[in-house]
């Protein structure tokens, strides 16, 4: 689906007040329901505009996205993309001077243990990646490379990022 169509659909979801119930479902129900709700949140965060991303964050989407890092690889990929988009919006706001030179979303992700989980992903896949990259599933390669990219881009000054 084209990005503009996804943005339009996300706006309809926001206007229908569906985001808060999705966040609630992700935090409070059985695993299958949590997973589906979290996947919807992750997809929304991975394609939204700056305003839509800010709205998602205001509704509490960061922790659910961070919690998805332990799920199925296809969900982890979407979750990492969503977190990366949130971090990009935070960097843009920092650059524009609207947040006193701080990426507020970066701190929120760190507080939700998202940085730690991304670092874990990187270290978990690193040895496998380096030893047998040609034999790995494409999702595994993409997850490892995205984890490294996010850490290098947003936490390089705080971490030993390889």
CATH code at position 7? 1.25.10.10
Burial of 18 (0-12, 13-18, 19+ CB in 10 A): middle
Q: Provide the residue range defining the domain that includes 37.
A: 3-112
Whose tokens are 């998202």? That residue is 114
pLDDT along the chain (162 residues), means of 10: 80 94 82 83 89 95 88 86 95 92 96 96 82 78 92 80 46
State the greatest distance between any 2 C-alpha atoms of the chain, in Å, as a whole number: 48
Residue 71, domain member (yes or no): yes
Q: Give me the number of domains the chain comprises.
A: 1
pTM (predicted TM-score): 0.88
pLDDT for 162: 47
CA distance 41 to 26: 9
pLDDT for 29: 61
């Amino acid at each position: 689906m084209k990005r503009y169509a996804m943005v339009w659909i996300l706006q309809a979801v926001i206007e229908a007040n569906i985001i808060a119930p999705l966040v609630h479902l992700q935090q409070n129900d059985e695993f299958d329901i949590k997973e589906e709700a979290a996947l919807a949140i992750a997809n929304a965060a991975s394609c939204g505009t700056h305003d839509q991303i800010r709205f998602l964050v205001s509704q509490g989407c960061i922790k659910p996205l961070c919690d998805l890092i332990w799920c199925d690889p296809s969900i982890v990929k979407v979750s990492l993309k969503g977190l990366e988009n949130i971090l990009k919006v935070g960097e843009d706001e920092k650059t524009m001077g609207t947040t006193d030179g701080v990426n507020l979303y970066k701190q929120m992700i760190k507080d939700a243990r998202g940085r730690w989980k991304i670092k874990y992903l990187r270290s978990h896949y690193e040895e496998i990646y380096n030893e047998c990259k040609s034999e790995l599933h494409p999702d595994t390669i993409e997850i490892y490379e995205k984890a490294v990219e996010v850490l290098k881009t947003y936490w390089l000054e705080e971490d030993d990022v390889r």
